[in-house]
């Protein structure tokens, strides 16, 4: 199966040895996205709602580059620093889907890149 690297300047460039996403056949694997503004390359942290929106916008940009939308997402993983933020993150996350939500887990972690509060990865199938 051929593997295609998906890359867009409308989402932040990787901060390590990985790609924004890989498309294998009709499946897209999106690397975890954090609240980095793709224009300024600056981290936006401090307000978990604003961070969550920026993460979802970055994910949308990658999906779009791959010819997909949130309706194609079958699996999400959400990593959060504080489970007390879950309700706010969940509210933002839900705004980007029109029903038929993907499978998902949410995990509290000890740390995330750049000191952000939330990171989300996705798998989509077209």
| CATH architecture group of domain 3-125 | 2-Layer Sandwich (3.30)
CB 25, CB 1: distance < 8 Å: yes
Domain ranges of the chain: 3-125
pLDDT tens-place string over residues 21-66:
999 999 999 999 999 999 999 999 889 999 999 999 999 999 999 9
Distance CA 15, CA 1 (A): 27
Distance CA 118, CA 81 (A): 7
pLDDT tens-place string over residues 77-88:
999 999 999 999
């Amino acid at each position: 199966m051929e593997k295609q690297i998906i890359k867009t300047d409308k989402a932040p460039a990787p901060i390590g040895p990985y790609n924004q996403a890989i498309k294998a056949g009709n499946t897209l694997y999106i690397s975890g996205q954090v609240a980095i503004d793709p224009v300024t390359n600056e981290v936006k942290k401090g307000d978990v709602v604003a961070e969550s929106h920026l993460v979802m916008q970055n994910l949308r940009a990658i999906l779009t580059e791959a010819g997909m939308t949130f309706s194609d997402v079958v699996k999400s993983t959400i990593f959060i620093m504080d489970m007390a933020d879950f309700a706010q993150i969940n509210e933002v996350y839900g705004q980007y889907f029109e029903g038929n939500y993907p499978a998902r887990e949410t995990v509290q972690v000890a740390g995330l890149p750049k000191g952000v509060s939330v990171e989300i990865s996705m798998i989509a199938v077209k």
